[in-house]
Structure 1
Amino acid sequence: MLANKLNALLAERQITIKQAVQETNLSRNTISNISNNIYATISNDVLDQLCNYLRVTPCEFFVYAPIKINIGKGLNPDGIYLIFNVTDKQIENKYCFSLNLSENDSDENDILISLQSMSNDCYIFEKELVKLPPLLSASFTSQTIEIVLSALREEADDIIIKQNQHNKTSFNSYIDNSQKTTLKAKLIFPWGGYTKQLKIINGSIK
């Protein structure tokens, strides 16, 4: 995985997008696209201009990890699960995690969203994640959260939420019955915990 560090390099130097555009003569669209998308395609000419402007080498402009991770989702009789395809040295391994929801009675969070390994090789997957530099690790977590949110939006009828030890309902029904406009969610992943405010508009997560 190869990602650019333009956003971080500009922040370190306290350079705004507007200033970079004026001083490099590159278009605002070009700089904004690269700054906002760490995986943006960059031509050699643009890379040369940005490296000269920032006084960095291409090695300092990019961050690299020797693995590639693709994230997807699937549906089985038990509900939604996430699929992580990890390619390392041309060897591909697949890791599957079930998506589990439960209602939380604490004041801090309304619901708990967790990923639970569907096999016994979760520790191998976690070792793979250690190879990711902070920038790529943060991007991977953001992508995972977005996949989870897309499942909540698109497969709300297929996702079951536990309300207590005996009661379960579909996430769609839970939203309709809660009559809330926001949900405070705690996301528990094998590699860390995160919080997210989920907006509810017209009966679905936005």
Structure 2
Amino acid sequence: MIRCNLAILLAERNLRITKVSKDTGISRTTLTSLSNNRAQGIQLDTINTLCNYLKITPELLFLHIPVDIRVINVRVDYDEILFIDLEIIKNFKSFNCSLTGHCFTYFLEEKISDLEINVELFDEELNDNDEDLIKENSLLINTFSSLPVSFLNDIEDKIVDELISSLDKELCSPFNLRFTWEERLLTK
């Protein structure tokens, strides 16, 4: 996975996208998509201009980890139990994995006021120490525990986006969000 550190670099230098755009000639749209990690492609000339402007090398502009994690499906059943299907690609091998947890929705005046998401591993004890589940949980722990916070935040955002897209839009006014990962998922 690759992540652009532009937002962090701009914050460290107390720079705004508008100023960088004006100084470099790079469009605000391009800078915003890079800053939000939504860019689908970037010209080498743009990288060069940003590196010269910020006085950095490309490896400071971009962060790379040798794993891809794709959120395939997110669903909540009637008991507020959360199911997340993932694809993890490591060393050009693809692994389908699942996480579980809970998604609690709180209402105020018939609108969602709070959304609480707790993501967990499937419990091996409840599944009679299933060997496949033990291997899958081990892969998940090894992968997630090595993720920098910014990559973990990107995965959280994808999970939340999937959940919100399944909700009735009329219920979704601005609401408070609490997202937690099970501790054993993040520590080796």
Under a length normalisation based on structure 2, what TM-score does the superposition of the two structures give? 0.70
Equivalent position amino acid for 1:139 in 2: D
* Greater alpha carbon shift after TM alignment, 61-70 vs 128-137: 128-137
Q: Which residue of 1 aligns with 2:94?
A: 92
- The 1:57/1:145 distance shift into structure 2, 3 A limit, reads same
Q: Which residue of 1 aligns with 2:46?
A: 46
- The 1:128/1:189 distance shift into structure 2, 3 A limit, reads same
The answer to which structure has the higher helix fraction is: 2
Q: Is the contact between residue 102 and residue 112 of structure 1 (CA under 8 Å) also seen in structure 2?
A: yes
Shift of 1:29: 1.7
Give the Cα–Cα distance (whole angstroms) in 1 for the partners of residues 153 and 62 of structure 2: 15
Q: Which residue of 2 aligns with 1:202?
A: none
Equivalent position amino acid for 1:9 in 2: L
Give the Cα–Cα distance (whole angstroms) in 2 for the partners of residues 93 and 32 of structure 1: 33
* Greater alpha carbon shift after TM alignment, 133-142 vs 49-58: 133-142
- The 1:82/1:8 distance shift into structure 2, 3 A limit, reads same
Equivalent position amino acid for 1:31 in 2: L
Q: Which residue of 2 aligns with 1:190?
A: 182
Shift of 1:127: 1.5
Shift of 1:191: 5.1
Name the SS of the counterpart of 2:52 in structure 1: helix
The structure having more radius of gyration, on CA atoms, is 1
Q: Which residue of 2 aligns with 1:137?
A: 152
Q: Is the contact between residue 72 and residue 147 of structure 1 (CA under 8 Å) also seen in structure 2?
A: no
- The 1:135/1:110 distance shift into structure 2, 3 A limit, reads closer
Shift of 1:93: 1.3
Q: Which residue of 2 aligns with 1:7?
A: 7
Name the SS of the counterpart of 2:35 in structure 1: helix
Shift of 1:134: 2.5
Structure 1: runs of 5+ lacking an equivalent: 155-174, 176-180, 193-206
The answer to which structure has the higher strand fraction is: 1
Q: Deviations over 1:133-185 (max 9, x none)?
A: 2222221222222223334x16xxxxxxxxxxxxxxxxxxxx8xxxxx77666
Structure 2: runs of 5+ lacking an equivalent: 107-112, 123-132
Q: Which residue of 2 aligns with 1:115?
A: 119
Q: Is the contact between residue 73 and residue 80 of structure 1 (CA under 8 Å) also seen in structure 2?
A: no
Give the Cα–Cα distance (whole angstroms) in 2 for the partners of residues 191 and 144 of structure 1: 18
- The 1:112/1:66 distance shift into structure 2, 3 A limit, reads same
Equivalent position amino acid for 1:190 in 2: E
Give the Cα–Cα distance (whole angstroms) in 2 for the partners of residues 112 and 33 of structure 1: 28
Under a length normalisation based on structure 1, what TM-score does the superposition of the two structures give? 0.65
Root-mean-square deviation (Å):
3.4
Give the Cα–Cα distance (whole angstroms) in 1 for the partners of residues 25 and 178 of structure 2: 44
- Alignment size in residue pairs: 164
Give the Cα–Cα distance (whole angstroms) in 2 for the partners of residues 133 and 39 of structure 1: 20
Higher RCO structure, 1 or 2 (CA under 8 Å, sep 6+): 2
